[in-house]
Chain A
Amino acid sequence: MGRYITRRLIQAIPVLLGATLLIYAVVFALPGDPIEALAGDKRIDPHIVDVLRERYHLNDPFLVQYWHYLTGLFRGDFGVTFAGVPVGEVMAGKFQVTVNLAMTALVIEAVIGIGLGLYAALRHGRAQDTLILASTLVLISIPTLVTGFVLQLLLGVRLKQAGLDLFPVAGVTGDLRGYLLPGFVLAGTSIAYLARLTRASLAETLRADYVRTAIAKGLPRRRVVGRHALRNALIPLVTYLGADLGTLMGGAVITETIFNLPGMGQQLFTSVYLREQPVVVGTVTFLVLVYILANLVVDLLYAVLDPRIRYG
């Protein structure tokens, strides 16, 4: 068990190194000059640009620049942004917001998605089942951009104008309340997928021989479904949730922008735009790490759900 985890973590090292090199190269290959991008519509004097290029090692060849970055990384130094702020500091600030948002979304999609799927599977082929199938289809079809703005206007602005202060329109508030609306928007599509996945997986398991045996033994229905069927049916769902965690952490640019949450998705977007290699590479590498860890946790969870699976 311990050895298994160690092995998996060691395997992650070349993956992470490869990721930094790849991302660094990709950002390097982007067109335009980062210093001029920084200036926006105004041109900075050429002689000032020279000083800045020198300061950020932009005149060095690619491999030399990468080497600077990598050696810094081993000293625990993630580099600095063009504004002179340490990248580690920037990332730490964004990380908190992203984790809050991703976890809120994950909880929302797990509870609602699995709940709906469970209900549909137990009412298989009946009106409620069809209704859930149809409504999830609608949910999948609406882009996040639309749900985001509509919910913000209806539940944020209009409710507040009507005197009901339930959801803040935007921004991080003191409590987790500010994450509810964006969390729901972010979870939207996944809720639908998860409901459909649960429904299919559970409906299939309910037809399995061992479930019939359990029913024949005279076990109460609650125990048959909850203990025997659902546990097995959960395996594909856990895989989905694990992979989704990675997506939620990195892919929330639109939601974060609409609700003004300063998370990693937004940071990544602006940094790619400004060609801030240290920030892009740092953030992406971190996301790769999250993916690797999420996958590891998923694999360990398999063993919990299915006693036949063992790691040694």
Chain B
Amino acid sequence: MRVTRSARIIAGIALLALGAAACGGQAATGGGADGDQPVRMELAEPQKLFYPGDTIETEGAEVLGALFAPLVSYNDDKQVVDNVAESIKSPDSTVWTIKLKPDYTWHNGEPLIAENYVDAWNFAANRDNAQGANSFFSRIEGWADLNPSDKKQPVLAEKMKGLKVVDERTFQVTLSKPFSQFKTMLGYVAFYPLPKAAFGEDGKVTEAYAKQPIGQGYFKMDKPYNKGTDRTIDLTRYDQFPGAKPKFDKLQFKIYSDSETAFNDLRAGALDIHDSLPPAAIASAKAELGERYIDQADAGVGYIGFPLQYNDTYSNVKIREAISMAIDRKTITETVFAGTRAPADDFINPLLDGYRPNICTVCTYDPARAKTQYVENNGPGSLELGYNTDGAHKEWIEAVANNLRANLGVEVKVKPFEKFAVVLDNLVKKDYGGMFRMGWFIDYPSVENYLTPVFSTVAITTGSNYAGWSNKEFDDLLAEGDAAGTLKEGLKYYQQADDVLIKELPYIPVFYYRTNAAYSQRIRGLKINLINLVEWNKIEKIG
């Protein structure tokens, strides 16, 4: 046989195979009249499968938020109100009795019962299940048994002592210490219930469930989600839902890897809701969309932090104040961030009830006073400012550095770290002595969540207090707020604690995050709530 011919045949086959591979696997999904198109919302790829207790990021929470109904929700006055719960009562802020409304059913038809909550919370709180939201349950009595301090030690119990089913629709939660804000936590993803069907024979939530969770909310999922492969997540309205139902029957999450691309898709009519517009798209969104562009407060605060625990350079509060006054927050938020951030003037974000405008007077730009105060207190001649390059921080950090150079007349060295985790690692190991960029997003909409996890003494070891700042007065005020009888009463103490922060300035608040969203002409009535979830029953489809 002549070699060339067989070579020809083999090469031909190889090409054919490649061609066949190129044409295969094409499902016909396009087409259809515009009227029966689902409402389509932008999503970045969820980090994990849908375990409610392991969802500590926004994208997974968005999907779960459409599948589940929370115990409490948040009204237009920023107040927490009962939702699935009929009542949530506590005489002493320690023992909480939660009664469910009747008529809620799971998407598989079973009724929603109190046990579903107890099962879900016990699963999420168990160390061996390695759920990301584990610490959300740490206030419940018995959590420590499920999370022994020695990692070699096996867990002492499967169930938390503090959770007790009273009857079919009532359960009782006992906290290890009073916490007046407990009710605000209950709207969060981690506190969703789980149906019996979620658990396998070994008592663990199955992977099959996490791919296609059965919820008790507005929508049910059409098919299991293949993470890494699927580019859409399709949901259908659950018609047995007892509350106010959505006014459209199909919802689709479209997964994008670039939010600018998603914005282009929205402009071209291939997407309806986009809730995370990139700064580059803001100008055209404002110009082209008009009313269909939304700009509202979001839960995050951006700070400049000091390693107070182990570096004395910044121990004088007057120097920290001077640095704060030298930062031109307004210009930075308007130019560097194109209005996707707002200047900070409190440690508490305007999103919440309890925010007080202009309470932080040293957060106002005052270069002259900054310079005088800095010089009078012998501020260091050179400063270092660290940030992580894996987020969009370079520009604003450079802007802050320029402010400090110009207004304080000091050398500022900007130090990039490749990842946020590396910054944290350096701070925990006390290797890095300069100022650093920091950010905080609340987990539940209570003022307390801007204070305890970031600035309390216990948070140095168990939370996110990277400054290592510790203040007895502050800790005591938090404890008093926790022990208060009502949400409102607690707020009073938290605001006093906030006053201590402003006086002591362990971090400098620089900006507040904003939610920048846009929607298409096919819908109206887009509302995004306090915890960044779309209120699906308010949306109307018009196209």
Chain A contacts to B: CB under 8 angstroms: 1, 5, 31-33, 36-45, 47-48, 50-52, 55, 81-85, 89-90, 92-94, 96, 99-100, 103-104, 152-153, 156-157, 160-161, 168-176, 256-260, 262, 266-267, 273, 293, 297, 300-301, 303-304, 307, 310-312
With contact pairs A43-B424, A175-B26, A267-B228 given, residues A256 and B56 touching in the complex (Cβ less than 8 Å)? no
The reply to whether B127 and A32 form a contact with Cβ atoms under 8 Å apart is no
Contacts A96-B24, A300-B11; is A152 near B421 (CB within 8 Å)?
Answer: no
A171's partner among B57, B231, B420, B425 (CB-CB below 8 A) is: B231
Min distance, Cβ B446 to any Cβ of chain A, angstroms: 17
Are B22 and A104 in touch, CB under 8 angstroms?
A: yes
27 A-B residue pairings within 8 Å (CB atoms):
A1-B10, A5-B10, A32-B418, A36-B424, A40-B57, A42-B56, A83-B48, A89-B228, A90-B228, A93-B228, A153-B264, A160-B268, A161-B267, A161-B268, A169-B261, A170-B270, A174-B30, A256-B257, A259-B261, A260-B231, A260-B256, A297-B14, A300-B7, A300-B10, A303-B4, A310-B3, A311-B7
In the assembled complex, B439 has its CB within 8 A of some CB on chain A: yes
Looking at the assembled complex, report how far the CB atom of A248 sits from the nearest CB atom of chain B, in whole angstroms. Answer: 12
Instruction: Tell me, yes or no, whether B290 is within 8 Å of chain A by CB.
Output: no
Are B11 and A304 closer than 8 Å at their CB atoms?
Answer: yes
Bound CA span A171–B261, Å: 9
Residue among A293, A300, A312 having the largest count of chain B Cβ atoms under 10 Å: A300
Q: Which of B251-295 contact A (CB under 8 A)?
A: 254-258, 261-262, 264-265, 267-270
Q: Assess the A171–B254 pair: CB atoms within 8 A.
A: yes
Residues in A whose Cβ lies below 8 Å from that of B313: none
Residue of B nearest to A168 (CB): B270
Q: Which one of B131-139, B303-311, B474-482, B487-495 is at the interface?
A: B131-139
- Given A36-B424, A103-B19, decide whether A257 and B207 contact each other with a Cβ distance below 8 A: no
| Shortest CB distance B148–A (Å) | 8
Other A-B pairs, 5, CB within 8 Å; known A1-B1, A93-B230:
A85-B49, A85-B228, A169-B268, A266-B257, A303-B4
In the complex, which of the residues B27, B56, B262 contacts A39, with contact meaning CB atoms closer than 8 Å?
B56
Contact of B226 among A39, A89, A170, A293 (CB under 8 A): A89
Q: How far is the CA of A156 from the CA of B261 in the complex (A)?
A: 11
Chain B residues near A170 (CB-CB < 8 A): 256, 261-262, 264-265, 270
Closest residue of chain A to B267, judged by CB? A157
In the complex, which residues of chain B have a beta carbon less than 8 angstroms from the beta carbon of A31? 418-419, 422
**CB distance B226 to A93 under 8 Å?**
yes
Total A-B residue pairs with C-beta atoms closer than 8 Å? 191
Chain A residues closer than 8 Å to B7, beta-carbon distance: 1, 300-301, 303-304, 311
Answer whether A47 and B29 are a contact pair too, CB < 8 Å, given A257-B261, A260-B261, A297-B11: no
**Given A51-B128, A259-B261, CB of A43 within 8 Å of CB of B464:** yes
A36 close to B421 (CB less than 8 A): yes
Name the residue of chain A whose CB is nearest to the CB of B129.
A51
Cβ contacts under 8 Å, B268 to chain A: 156-157, 160-161, 169
Closest residue on chain A to residue B390 by CB atoms: A273
Contact of A174 among B29, B56, B262 (CB under 8 A): B29
Contacts of A266 in B (CB 8 A): 257
B335 at the A interface (CB under 8 A): no
Question: How far apart sit A103 and B18, CA to CA, in the bound complex (Å)?
Answer: 8
Is B441 a contact partner of A84 (Cβ separation < 8 A)?
no
User: Are the CB atoms of B261 and A84 closer together than 8 Å?
Assistant: no
Asked if B156 CB lies within 8 Å of chain A CBs, one says no
Which 7 pairs across A and B sit closest by C-beta, in order of nearness? A93-B229, A90-B228, A36-B421, A174-B30, A103-B22, A160-B268, A51-B130
Residues on A with C-beta less than 8 A from B439 are 41
Do most interface residues of chain A lie in helix, strand or loop, or is the interface mixed?
helix
Chain B, residues 118-145, CB within 8 Å of chain A (1/0): the string is 0000000001101110110000000000
B6 at interface, CB cutoff 8 A: yes
Partner among A90, A100, A174, A307 whose Cβ is within 8 Å of the Cβ of B4: A307
Distance of A52 Cα from B331 Cα, bound (Å): 43
Please measure, in the bound complex, the distance between the C-alpha atom of A274 and the C-alpha atom of B29, giving whole angstroms: 32
Contact between A99 and B134, CB atoms less than 8 A apart:
no
Inter-subunit contact B49/A258 (CB<8 Å):
no
Closest to B210 in A: A84
User: Which residues of chain B come closer than 8 Å to A99, judged between CB atoms?
Assistant: 18, 21-22
CB within 8 Å of A: which of B198-229? 207, 226-229
* B288 nearest CB neighbor, chain A only: A161
Question: In the complex, A173 Cα to B149 Cα: how many Å?
Answer: 51
Q: Which residues of B contact A100 (CB under 8 A)?
A: 22
Q: Which residues of chain B are near A96, meaning CB under 8 Å?
A: 21, 24-25
Q: Give A227 to B280 CA distance when docked, in angstroms.
A: 53
Q: Is B90's beta carbon under 8 Å from chain A?
A: no
Please report the C-alpha to C-alpha distance between residue A1 and residue B5 in the assembled complex, in whole angstroms.
Answer: 10
Q: Smallest Cβ distance from B537 to chain A, in angstroms?
A: 28
B5's nearest neighbour on chain A, judged by CB, is: A304
Could you tell me if B256 and A174 are in contact, using CB atoms closer than 8 angstroms? no
Min CB gap A117→B, angstroms:
21
Q: Tell whether, in the assembled complex, residue A257 and residue B258 are in contact, meaning their CB atoms are under 8 Å apart.
A: yes
B265 touches A169 (CB 8 A): yes
Report whether B425 and A33 are in contact in the complex, using a CB–CB cutoff of 8 Å: yes
Please, how many angstroms separate the alpha-carbon atoms of A235 and B78 in the complex? 71
- Identify the closest chain B residue to A301 (Cβ): B11
Contact B3 A311 (CB under 8 A): yes
B423 CB → nearest A CB, Å: 10
How many Å lie between the Cα of A172 and that of B229 in the bound state? 11
Shortest C-beta distance, B27 to chain A (Å), equals 6
Residue in B4, B24, B134 whose Cβ sees the most chain A Cβ within 10 Å: B4
CA distance A181 to B64 in the complex (A): 34
Q: Does the CB pair A84–B48 fall under 8 Å?
A: yes
Complex CA gap A175/B420 in Å reads 41
Question: Quick check: A83 and B227 within 8 Å, CB to CB?
Answer: yes
CB-based contact A38/B135 at 8 Å: no
Cα-based distance from A39 to B8 in the complex (angstroms): 53
A293 CA to B11 CA in the complex, in Å?
11
> Please, how many angstroms separate the alpha-carbon atoms of A276 and B439 in the complex?
25
A94 to B422, CA, bound (A): 30
Which residues of B1-59 are within 8 A (CB) of A? 1, 3-4, 6-8, 10-11, 14-15, 18-19, 21-31, 47-49, 56-57
What residues on A are CB-neighbors of B1 within 8 Å?
Answer: 1
Query: Are A32's CB and B22's CB within 8 A?
Result: no
Which chain B residues lie closer than 8 Å to A311 at the CB level? 3, 7
Residues of A within 8 A of B422 (CB): 31-32
Instruction: Give the residue of A5, A84, A90, A174 whose beta carbon is less than 8 angstroms from that of B28.
Output: A174
> B151 at interface (Cβ–Cβ under 8 A)?
yes
